[in-house]
Amino acid sequence: MNERARVAAVGVLRSIGTSRGVLLTRSDCAITSGHVTSDVLLRGRLLDELTRRQLPSGGWATSTTSKQAALESACLAALALGLRSDGAHRVQDFLLRVQNPNGSWPAFVGDDPDGGWVTSLALIALRDYVPGIPARLRGFHWLLKFAGKESNWLWKWKFRTTDRHVRFDPDKYGWPWFPDTVSWVVPTGFAILALNQVPCSCGDLGQTPHRVKLGIEMLIDRACPSGGWNAGNGVVYGVPLSPHLDDTAIALLAMSGKKEVPPIERAVQWLENPAQGLRAPWSVAWTILALAAHRRPVESQLACLRSLPDLFAVEDTSTLAVMCLALDYRDTLSAFGVAI
């Protein structure tokens, strides 16, 4: 396609976009073999569907078949919407209303009074919401006290002496899904991303760098030998485990600033391998965000996402939100505190 045709095509898309209140630029459009594909238009339609699913409470359910608000879905939807709509303000007010008295957030409204891993997502989702500053500070204090059970001296002794089926260093711990369980990859990744946004080092918040360092050490220690991460450990009963796409992507997001670390380099190479055969929208979207965070090309992964069938019929709300985040990966990474 010559330059005149390219400019004309972008001009057509711009006129379409402005009719919906969206301004398109050439960088928003991928033009290949005479076909124009706009990530902005696709994302706009997905956001329309996401907005349509918002509950009267301001939150989102896990799927179209449920009416119970789920915090993971609500936080990811809030990140996708940003601050540019009435729906965004409604979900942020919803997050403030459902915070637990101890500063944490529950997985579902009315459940988990002790809190859980979604606290990290809520802290990130409220990052630019001024009325949420006191709630975020309470959440950060709670998150710093929340740790995998192997951080306890008795559990450290257990993993060093009687329970040797898993291979990891119990001195290097992160965050669990819920209290009184051991550390896992995904909650540790999100906790690191959240704590990287702590606004000051006053009081207990001065512990933040230490906890982030421990979390990163835990992830590196538990990487799979072949590259990437499984859900928890890299080796069990002496057998190396296979990595998972989404666990690997979220771990890499949390360690985007780490360079020349062999486990991280192997994970990036594993994630880039086209033999992974990306098919699930959830995994494709997180892969785009992780590779972009490590300054790798993502056009082939974006093309894969665009080509997946029935994107607007995806029932899982979190998947719908993460697809929106991936299609606007630059702003998404900024929201996660990742510089590219």
Other C-beta atoms lying within 10 Å of the C-beta of residue 244: 18
Instruction: Evaluate if residue 169 carries a pLDDT over 80.
Output: no
Does residue 324 lie in a domain region?
Answer: yes
Does residue 265 lie in a domain region?
Answer: yes
240 lies in the same domain as 299: yes
Return the closest-CA partner of residue 232 out of 192, 172, 184, 189. Answer: 184
- pLDDT tens figures, 222-231: 999 989 999 9
Q: Provide the residue range defining the domain that includes 4.
A: 1-33
26 lies in the same domain as 48: no
Residue 105: the pLDDT is 98
Does residue 83 lie in a domain region?
Answer: yes
Does residue 38 lie in a domain region?
Answer: no
The answer to whether residues 170 and 150 touch, using CB atoms and an 8 Å cutoff, is yes
Span 286-294, mean pLDDT? 97
The answer to whether residues 317 and 63 touch, using CB atoms and an 8 Å cutoff, is yes
93 lies in the same domain as 232: yes
Other C-beta atoms lying within 10 Å of the C-beta of residue 263: 21
27 lies in the same domain as 70: no
Q: Fill in the DSSP letter of residue 203.
A: G
> What radius of gyration, in Å, describes the C-alpha atoms of the chain?
21
The answer to whether residues 70 and 60 touch, using CB atoms and an 8 Å cutoff, is yes
The answer to whether residues 286 and 322 touch, using CB atoms and an 8 Å cutoff, is yes
Which uninterrupted H or E stretch holds 91? helix 86-97
195 lies in the same domain as 119: yes
The neighbouring-strand residues paired with 30 are 37
Does residue 139 lie in a domain region?
Answer: yes
State the distance between the two ends of the chain, measured CA to CA, in whole angstroms: 30
53 lies in the same domain as 20: no
Does residue 218 lie in a domain region?
Answer: yes
Which region holds residue 297: left if phi is over 0, alpha if psi is between -120 and 50, else beta? beta
Span 137-160, mean pLDDT? 77
| Phi, psi for 122 (deg, rounded to 5) | -65, -40
Which uninterrupted H or E stretch holds 32? strand 29-32
CATH of the domain at 84: 1.50.10.20
- pLDDT tens figures, 119-137: 999 999 999 999 999 999 9
169 lies in the same domain as 311: yes
Structure-block tokens of residue 151:
């951080």
Return the closest-CA partner of residue 275 out of 232, 239, 245. Answer: 245
26 lies in the same domain as 109: no
Does residue 340 lie in a domain region?
Answer: no
213 lies in the same domain as 319: yes
**Structural domains in the chain (count):** 2
Instruction: Evaluate if residue 16 carries a pLDDT over 90.
Output: no
- pLDDT tens figures, 80-124: 998 767 888 899 999 999 999 999 999 999 888 999 999 999 999
20 lies in the same domain as 106: no
Which uninterrupted H or E stretch holds 36? strand 35-38
- pLDDT tens figures, 184-193: 999 999 999 9
Whole-number Cα distances in Å, 148 to 143, 152, 279: 11, 8, 32
- pLDDT tens figures, 23-80: 333 333 333 432 235 788 999 999 999 999 999 999 999 999 999 999 999 999 999 9
27 lies in the same domain as 49: no
305 lies in the same domain as 157: yes
Cα separation, 175 vs 146, whole angstroms:
7
Does residue 221 lie in a domain region?
Answer: yes
Return the closest-CA partner of residue 264 out of 290, 285, 282, 284. Answer: 290
Return the closest-CA partner of residue 69 out of 16, 103, 112. Answer: 112
